[in-house]
Amino acid sequence: MNLSFKDLRFIIEAIEHQINVYQERLQVIEDVDEDEAAELGNDIKFLELLHADMTTSLEQNTSVKSLSSDDTFSPVWKDNYSEVSQDLSFQELVQLTLKLSLSERLFLVEAITASVRQEVTIGQ
């Protein structure tokens, strides 16, 4: 099975949620039902290992190789970076972005989202 960046993020978040649910349940029943507590403890360990594997897989699949300007940008962009960057239209930015793989674009979206969240958090 070949999972996308978004698939992996969704699954990782679901696993994190389930671990939290199991840990909360474990705290409630720990002294009451030893069998269920042991089963939950085993399930938590399994989910933690699965979480670690999925996180590693996500990191390996989304590490973006550094792009040289020759790979992505035209000679005009490379020679006049500061001038062109000021005049870059939305459509030109879209065209440049389309040269990235889907995984690289999703990784970029995730990075931009994280940076915006961080900036908003700092500003509050």
pTM of the prediction? 0.50
> Do 55 and 92 sit in the same domain of this protein?
no
Residues 21, 57 within the same domain:
yes
Tens of pLDDT along 62-94?
554 444 444 444 444 444 444 445 567 778 878
Dihedral sign, CA of 59, 10, 23, 42? Answer: negative
The answer on 27 and 10 residing in a single domain is yes
Q: How far apart are CA 122 and CA 29, in angstroms?
A: 39
Which band of pLDDT confidence, cut at 50, 70 and 90, is reported for residue 31?
A: confident
Give the total number of structural domains in the chain. Answer: 2
Range of the domain at 44: 5-62
